[in-house]
A and B are shown apart, each in its own frame.
Chain A
Amino acid sequence: MKKTLFEKIWEPHVVDQIDEDLALIYIDLHLVHEVTSPQAFEGLRINSRTVRKPNLTAATIDHNVPTSDRFNIKDPIAKKQIETLRANCKEFGVPLYDIDDINQGIVHVIGPELGLTQPGMTIVCGDSHTSTHGAFGALAFGIGTSEVEHVLATQTLVQKKPKTMAINVNGDLPRGVTPKDLILSIIKEIGVDGGTGHAIEFRGDAFKKMSMEGRMTVCNMTIEGGGRAGMIAPDEKTFEFVQGKKFSPKGSNLDKLMDFWTDLYSDENAEFDTIFDIDCSNLEPHISWGTNPGQVAGINSYVPDPESYSTPEEKSNAQNALDYMGLEAGQKISDIRLDRVFIGSCTNGRLEDLRSAANIIEGKKVDKNVRAMVVPGSGLVKMMAEKEGLDKIFTESGFEWRDAGCSMCLGMNPDILVPQERCASTSNRNFEGRQGKEGRTHLVSPEMAAAAAIEGHFVDVRNWK
Chain B
Amino acid sequence: MEAFLNHKGLVAPLDRANVDTDQIIPKQFLKRIERTGFGEFAFFDWRYLEPGVPDPDFILNSDRYKSASILVAGTNFGSGSSREHAPWALLDYGFKILIAPSFADIFRTNCFQNGMLTITLDKDKVDYLMGMASSPKYSGYQLEVDLESQILKDGNEFSEKFDIDPFRKESLLKGQDEIGRTLTSENKIDSFESSRIDRW
Contact = CB atoms under 8 A, between A and B. Distances in A.
B199 A257 contact: yes
Contacts of A127: 81-82
B115 to A, nearest CB: 11
Interface stretch (B57-65, B71-79, B146-154): B71-79
Interface string B42-67: 00010000000000000000000000
Interface in B164-185: 165-167, 178-180, 182-183, 185
Interface string A47-68: 1010010011000000110000
A180 to B, nearest CB: 18
B179 A429 contact: no
A148 B183 CA distance: 15
Contacts of A42: 33, 35
Give the 4 A-B residue pairs with the shortest CB-CB distance, closest first: A146-B113, A144-B110, A144-B84, A38-B33
B14 interface: no
B121 interface: no
A208 B63 CA distance: 57
Contacts of A121: 199
B183 to A, nearest CB: 6
Nearest to A24: B182
A192 B182 contact: no
23 contacts: A39-B84, A47-B179, A47-B180, A81-B31, A81-B32, A81-B33, A126-B82, A127-B82, A128-B80, A143-B109, A144-B82, A144-B113, A146-B84, A147-B110, A193-B76, A193-B79, A193-B104, A226-B105, A313-B17, A412-B30, A431-B80, A433-B45, A438-B45
Interface stretch (A132-140, A155-163, A267-275): A155-163
A39 B104 contact: no
Question: What size tier do the contact residues of chain B reach?
Answer: 35 or more
Nearest to A154: B182
B16 interface: yes
Interface of A: 15-16, 18-19, 21-22, 24, 26, 28, 35-36, 38-39, 42-43, 47, 49, 52, 55-56, 63-64, 75, 77-78, 80-81, 84, 118, 121, 126-128, 141-147, 149-150, 153-156, 158, 160, 162, 192-193, 196-197, 223, 226, 228, 247, 249, 253, 256-257, 292, 313, 316-317, 320, 410-412, 429, 431-434, 437-438
Contacts of B75: 193, 313
Given A38-B33, A154-B186, A256-B197, 5 more contacts: A15-B188, A24-B189, A128-B82, A146-B110, A192-B18
B113 A78 contact: no
B102 interface: yes
B165 A39 contact: no
B34 interface: yes
A144 B106 contact: yes
Contacts of A149: 179
B138 interface: no
A144 B75 CA distance: 21
B50 to A, nearest CB: 10
A437 to B, nearest CB: 6
Given A158-B178, A193-B104, A196-B102, A317 B18 contact: yes
Interface centre among A127, A150, A158, A410 (most CB of B within 10 A): A158
A55 B198 CA distance: 12
Contacts of A18: 167
A320 B16 CA distance: 10
B26 interface: yes
Interface in B91-127: 102, 104-106, 109-110, 113-114
Contact of B31 (A75, A141, A145, A155): A75
Contacts of B84: 36, 39, 126, 144-146
A433 B109 contact: no
Contacts of A156: 182, 189
B105 A432 contact: no
A38 B75 CA distance: 31
B31 A153 contact: no
B200 A56 contact: yes
Contacts of B27: 410-412, 434
Nearest to A52: B189
Nearest to A20: B166
B20 interface: yes
Contact of A19 (B28, B106, B166, B198): B166
B153 to A, nearest CB: 26
A255 to B, nearest CB: 11
Contacts of A35: 30-31, 83
Contacts of B109: 143-144, 147
Contact of B179 (A26, A28, A141, A153): A153
Nearest to B86: A144
A78 B178 contact: no
Contacts of A433: 22-23, 26, 45
A24 B109 CA distance: 15
Given A36-B83, A56-B200, A196 B20 contact: no
A147 B200 contact: no
A142 B106 contact: yes
Contacts of B188: 15-16, 24
Contacts of A84: 33
A317 B74 CA distance: 11
A155 B189 contact: yes
B55 to A, nearest CB: 13
Name, among B165, B179, B192, the residue most crowded by chain A CB atoms within 10 Å (CB to CB). Answer: B179
B189 A253 contact: no
Contacts of B80: 128, 223, 429, 431
B159 to A, nearest CB: 25
A192 B79 contact: yes
B106 A143 contact: yes
Contacts of A24: 182, 185, 188-189
Interface centre among B27, B28, B30, B83, by most A CB within 10 Å? B27
